[in-house]
């Protein structure tokens, strides 16, 4: 396709990686991001070998690895702290680790710097006021009073996507999965050099993010989706860790800063129908948001970006490119959403979860080419 003008709505992980992938293919890209401060949580994210491969394809792998902490597997522990298994994860890119833990701020810094240097124009504090697709292009009016016209609009605006609502008002809505996740940063102990995952009805993990920092995640059943006030969050998280393995209990005592606790109810959504309409397409969480049990949500958004750029470069007609994009992405993203939900729902029901098997299967699946 000839150089066309593309608007990306949402400057999150998928929006930024789309800007990089499209910029490398010579497309003209603008991003609008609703949040004027472009803030992200201070905690981190785990990514697997398929993401390292995708970062290599985006040309950012060196900066990315440098900003995070690479490792090659997962150590699995029983709820009482006994070490049960070590699952080695396969490397997919020669010379690079199989997994990375990275702070969300560090990831955003790497991706936003590269999106800008790939030519993307980024506007903060702006969203879509109205859009009209006349078959030849998409006319957009912005919340700041501006207007412009694009050949394609990409909705990368996350779980509660405005663009999804405009395109598909009757599509499935995000579903609360009866669990929440609590996260907190700690100094990294020298022996936490890979993911330490504790099994049980509340999943607990320690994730290295850099030489100095690791974070703890804790998933808990949250029937009724309670809202927690910021004041007292540290004490609540400590309470949720009562009776945990000795190492976790010792760490829990250091959870004292309410502002350092990041709590999030877990929700998921998968669009069974089309992810595109005319000259507008959804990617990432806007089309398929997963619970984080396999650590693959952002990975799927990043892979979406590469595949979309690939298909847009391959086809002359946007409609053909969007159809090919969804055909390449649908089954893989569905697998991640469903396999993650299965772990979540079993934990909520108090059923045993074979985390080692589920993780091994996921590694195999995501190793397949995109």
Contact residues for ligand FAD, defined by CB under 6 A: 9-15, 32-35, 45-47, 127, 156-158, 162, 181, 264, 284-286, 292, 295-299, 301
What is the number of the residue whose Cβ is closest to ligand FAD?
12
* In 148-296, alpha helices (H): 162-167, 233-240, 246-252
Bridge partner list, 183 = 217, 262
Look-up of token digits 């292009």? 137
Structure-token pair, residue 171: 């599509």
Look-up of token digits 């697709």? 133
Residues 6 or more apart whose CB falls under 8 angstroms from that of 138 comprise 7, 131, 132, 149, 150, 151, 152, 153, 278, 279, 280
Residues 6 or more apart whose CB falls under 8 angstroms from that of 354 comprise none
Nearer to ligand FAD, 230 or 264 (CB): 264
Burial of 206 by CB count in 10 Å (0-12 exposed, 13-18 middle, 19+ buried)? buried
Q: How far is the CB of 21 from ligand FAD (least distance, A)?
A: 13
Nearer to ligand FAD, 1 or 355 (CB): 355
Of residues 306, 291, 322, the one with CA closest to residue 13: 306
Q: How far is the CB of 157 from ligand FAD (least distance, A)?
A: 4
Nearer to ligand FAD, 122 or 312 (CB): 122
Q: How far is the CB of 186 from ligand FAD (least distance, A)?
A: 17
Q: How far is the CB of 148 from ligand FAD (least distance, A)?
A: 14
Nearer to ligand FAD, 66 or 264 (CB): 264
Angstrom distance (rounded) from CA 183 to CA 195? 14
Nearer to ligand FAD, 12 or 137 (CB): 12
Q: How far is the CB of 62 from ligand FAD (least distance, A)?
A: 20
Q: How far is the CB of 326 from ligand FAD (least distance, A)?
A: 15
Nearer to ligand FAD, 27 or 217 (CB): 217
The Cα-based distances of 313 to 145, 281, 370 in angstroms read 32, 15, 16
Look-up of token digits 């593309």? 6
Q: How far is the CB of 162 from ligand FAD (least distance, A)?
A: 3
Nearer to ligand FAD, 165 or 315 (CB): 165
Nearer to ligand FAD, 1 or 120 (CB): 120
Bridge partner list, 130 = 141
Helix (H) or strand (E) holding 129: strand 128-133
CB atoms within 10 A of CB 101: 26
CB atoms within 10 A of CB 142: 17
Nearer to ligand FAD, 46 or 197 (CB): 46
DSSP string, 269-309: EE--S-SEETTEEE-GGGTEE--GGGS-HHHHHHHHHHHHH
Q: What is the dihedral of CA 108, 267, 32, 69, to 10 degrees?
A: 10
Which DSSP letter does residue 259 get?
G
Nearer to ligand FAD, 200 or 299 (CB): 299
Q: How far is the CB of 286 from ligand FAD (least distance, A)?
A: 6
Which DSSP letter does residue 189 get?
P
Q: How far is the CB of 181 from ligand FAD (least distance, A)?
A: 4
Q: How far is the CB of 316 from ligand FAD (least distance, A)?
A: 27
């Amino acid at each position: 396709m000839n150089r066309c003008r593309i608007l990306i709505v949402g400057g999150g992980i998928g929006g930024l990686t789309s800007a990089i992938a499209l910029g490398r293919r010579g497309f003209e890209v603008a991003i609008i991001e609703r949040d004027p401060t472009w803030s992200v949580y201070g905690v981190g994210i785990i990514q697997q070998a398929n993401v390292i491969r995708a970062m290599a394809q985006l040309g950012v792998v060196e900066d990315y690895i440098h900003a995070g902490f690479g490792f090659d597997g997962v150590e699995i522990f029983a709820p009482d702290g006994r070490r049960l298994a070590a699952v080695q994860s396969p490397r997919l890119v020669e010379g690079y680790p199989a997994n990375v833990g990275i702070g969300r701020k560090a990831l955003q810094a790497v991706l936003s710097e590269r999106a800008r240097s790939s030519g993307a124009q980024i506007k903060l504090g702006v969203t879509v006021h109205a859009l009209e697709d006349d078959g030849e292009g998409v006319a957009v009016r912005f919340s700041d009073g501006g207007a412009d016209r694009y050949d394609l609009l990409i909705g990368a605006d996350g779980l509660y996507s405005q663009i999804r609502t405009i395109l598909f008002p009757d599509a499935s809505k995000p579903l609360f999965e009866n669990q929440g996740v609590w996260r907190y940063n700690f100094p990294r102990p020298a022996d936490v050099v890979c993911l330490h995952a504790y099994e049980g009805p509340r999943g607990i993990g320690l994730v290295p993010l850099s030489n100095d920092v690791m974070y703890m995640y804790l998933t808990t059943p949250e029937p009724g989706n309670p809202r927690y006030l910021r004041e007292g969050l540290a004490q609540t998280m400590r309470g949720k860790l009562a009776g945990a393995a000795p190492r976790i209990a010792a760490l829990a005592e250091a959870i004292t800063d309410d502002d350092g606790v990041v709590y999030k109810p877990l929700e998921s959504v998968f669009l069974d129908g089309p992810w595109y309409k005319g000259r507008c397409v959804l990617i990432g969480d806007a089309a398929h948001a997963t619970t984080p049990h396999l650590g693959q949500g952002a990975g799927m958004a990043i892979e979406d970006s590469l595949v979309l750029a690939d298909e847009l470069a391959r086809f002359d007609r946007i409609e053909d490119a969007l159809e090919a994009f969804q055909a390449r992405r649908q089954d893989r993203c569905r697998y991640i959403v469903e396999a993650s939900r299965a772990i979540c729902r079993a934990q909520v029901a108090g059923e045993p979860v074979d985390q080692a098997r589920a993780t091994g299967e996921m590694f195999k699946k995501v190793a397949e080419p995109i």
